Every structure is written in structure tokens, then in C-alpha cells.
Amino acid sequence: MTEFKDKVVIITGASSGIGHELARQLAKQGAWLALAARREDKLEELAEECEALGGRALVVVTDVADEAQCKRLAEHTVEEFGGIDVLVNNAGITIWAKFEEMQSLDPFEAVMRVNYLGSLYCTHYALSHLKESQGRIVAVSSLAGKTGVPFRSGYSASKFAMAGFFETLRIEVAEHGVSVTMIYPDYVQTDTRLQAFGPDGKPIGTRPLRQGRMMTVEVAARQIIDAIRKRKRELLMSRRGKLGQWLKLIAPGLVDRIAARAVQGSG
């Protein structure tokens, strides 16, 4: 596939997980990548790999919770590559704790700043360039942005906020030929949960779910790239997720019970 050859793609949260694998797979298609995350060493390693795979790569160390850094990300990308064709809002952090057990509410603000405001900032500063290219905006959400999940109230809130923003933006930018694709992964094998805030506001340092039940990042990235290529409205990445949306319409209480059992049986 060469759909993204010479296309300028910004990927936030590119240093690990889904973002890292998206960069690798897009590099194989010859994409020009602006790689954004906080860990410069990881980004530099990824940039070398992407260029060896056939793409071009620009490292822009970025904390998406900082509006000024998101502005700089868009500006540096345009300075280096001349425009922006695709923006992938992928950076994210999470909380894994019951709300009643939280000792501080600071993690709720941190998660909202990264997951919601970070995607909003990046989109704002990239939008004029995306309108010029009739480009694509991608927002990596979660099934927790469709249905509440125990232990993830702060995370779910941030992902629901993303959905509301990007669903509205899709309507506003359609006349400019810009597409908005919402991605709703189920559980994917990444290290994000190692850094999840626990009740004490510190990273839990362990995976609360068994890896064997999760989708690999390679499969997830392939599905996401296909959805971007087709300019899909949204992508629900598991049969469980798709079934859950139908059940939610006719038996919402059942969906709640399924969500509770899924978490209880995950350890």
C-alpha cells in the first residue's frame, strides 16, 4: 500500500504502544512523520527505524498538556515538511482506581489535560493546514469513551469529552473536505497501564489486565491505518465493542454488568 507515500503525518504519543507501531507501519508506506512525545531518546530511536523503513521522520519533543508545545509541534512540522495531511491524536494517560478510593483528584485533571485538552490543542494549531490539504484528523479514544468502565471513571470522562468534541468538529470541517475518524480500541497490549495513576496518585507499575486477552499493537495499527485510509467515521476495534453498542440501546443494565464482570475477571 502506498496511500500515505509522501503524506505528512503527525503522531502524538509516538514513543510507545499504538503510536510507535503506527509510525513504523506508515514509514513502510513512505510517509513523512512528525513524531511527538515527551521521551526524546525513544523518539530518536524510532525516527532512525522509520527512515530505515523508507519514511522520513522529524522528532518534536512534545508534552501535549502544554498548549505552547502543541503549537510548536504544528509549526515545526510545517517548516520541515511544508504542510500537514494527517493528525493522529494518540497521546494518552489513564487512571486505574475506584473513584471513592482516590486520595487526591489531581490525576483527574492530569488525565483530562493530556487526553482531551492535548488533542484539542494539537487539532487547533494543525487545522488550517489540514484544511489546505483536505486532510484527515484522527482521535484515538477507547471503548471507555463509549461505555463507562469500573476503575476508569477519570479516563472514561476524558474519552467521552474527546468524542463530544470531535463529533462536533466533524460536522464543522466537512465543508472543507477534512475528515474526522474516531478510533475506539478495546484492550491493546501496551505499557500505558504501567503508568496508570493509582488511588494515591502514583503510577501503579503493574498491568491490571492479562496481556493474553488483548489485541497486539501490530493488529491495532493495521486496523487504524485502514480506517484512516478510508476516512471512516469511526472504528470499533472488537466484536465485543460492536455488540456492546447494540446492547446498550436495548439492555443498558446488562452492559453495566458485563463491564463489571470483565474487570473483576481480568486480574
Residues with catalytic roles: 155
Q: What is the CA radius of gyration of the chain?
A: 18
Please report the DSSP string for 169-221 in residue order: HHHHHGGGT-EEEEEE--SBS-SGGGG-B-TTSSB--S-SS-GGGSB-HHHHH
Residue that has been written with the C-alpha cell 523518539 in this structure: 43
**Cα–Cα distance, 263 to 267 (Å, whole number):** 8
CA 203 distance to own-chain centroid: 20
Specify the pairing of strand 8-12 against strand 32-37.
Answer: parallel
φ, ψ dihedrals at 193, nearest 5°: -70, -20
Instruction: Dump strand ranges (E) for the chain.
Output: 8-12, 32-37, 56-61, 86-89, 136-140, 179-184, 234-236
The strand pairing partners of 89, in sequence order, are: 139
